[in-house]
Amino acid sequence: KGINLPGSQVSARSLGKKDLADLAFALGVGVDYVALSFVRRAADIRQLARRIRDAGSSAEVIAKIERPEAVANLEAVLAASDALMIARGDLGVEMGPEFVPALQKRMIRMAVEQRKPVITATQMLESMITNPRPTRAEASDVANAIYDGTSAVMLSAETASGKHPLRAVQIMDRIIRETERDMLESAAVLRMRRDPRRGLSVTHATVRASVAAAFEVGCEVIAVFSESGATARAIAAERPRTRVVAFTPFQRTVQRLALVWGVRALRVSRTRTSHEMTLEGERMLRERGLAGEGDRVVLVVGSSRQEGMTNIMHIRTLGPDRPPVDGRRGRAKTGGRKA
């Protein structure tokens, strides 16, 4: 348990003995993310990241924003972190509830601009700890976080100790779906209209073009091939209305992308060329029922010659199903599919 000391400067270490023991256990079981509570400065994040790397793990760090010092150093903390959590309960105690709404909007906006996941947490459906239905104000609170662009909304005591944990999840899911259904125009297109920035990298220019094309043409899916997940995150940061499917050969990337806004990640076999990627991606979309014959899809593929460069975007209309690709020989298999 932590303690709140509003208006005070805390000198305690960010990581105590129990924290280090818990960290060792978590890394030992292979967690993908580690959240650090009561962050004050970027150095706290870097210290945790070093310990994770020294332990031989590639887990990523989520900064929980609860302290005024973290808010004051928000830009540096966000730059040092892999993701952000807006811990509104403690933040409201530390700074006052009147500051939380504006801070929440600011933090979501900054995280989206930096293409990093952001979680809005604490007291979202608080009344459901005891009651079977949330208040209308709580439903609006969840919806407003989604309109602001949050990557995820999180339940706490509602599911940890509440009387209606399953119902709380179901109701939050319905609020999310209805809110996203109401978001009629792509946030990315709106942002490009009001903020026509110049000087983007090739990767980000390609990403923006893919999102705009999917919206204007009415594509069913934006399919992205991404080993690390970076391109999928860049697309998600544009908040497209179109479904995003990420293909990757690495299970760890599949797991990490679960936190990223609007991305469904699927593991595929490694392929050598962009043509093989395209064939394998189309096959997987059909196989999972995500797109079918006659549907339009946007495919985003990195350069096969330059690592880390995403510079291929094309729109395809799916034709009849084809045999899966054998990436080792660069041709279609004829002897069935692997599970």
Superfamily holding 17-182: Phosphoenolpyruvate-binding domains (3.20.20.60)
**Res 336: pLDDT:** 36
The dotted CATH code for 187-332 is 3.40.1380.20
Distance CA 210, CA 183 (A): 19
CATH 3.40.1380.20, the chain: domain bounds: 187-332
Q: What stretch(es) of the chain map to CATH 3.20.20.60?
A: 17-182
CA distance 46 to 329: 43
Over residues 92-99, the mean pLDDT reads 92
pLDDT at 309 (0 to 100): 57
**Tell me, what's the pLDDT at 2?**
58
Rounded mean pLDDT of 139-165?
95
**Coil, strand or helix: which one is 198?**
coil
pLDDT, position 338: 30
pLDDT > 90: percent of the chain: 63
Under 8 Å between Cβ of 157 and 130: no
**Distance (Å, rounded) from C-alpha 279 to C-alpha 323?**
9
Instruction: Give the integer Cα–Cα distance in Å for 186 and 238.
Output: 8
Identify the CA nearest to 259 among candidates 83, 39, 107.
83
* Phi (first) and psi of residue 325, to 5 degrees: -90, 135
Q: What pairing do the DSSP bridges indicate for beta strands 221-225 and 296-302? A: parallel
Average pLDDT over residues 213-237: 91
Per-residue model confidence as pLDDT tens digits over 175-206: 999 998 887 554 544 554 445 555 567 788 88
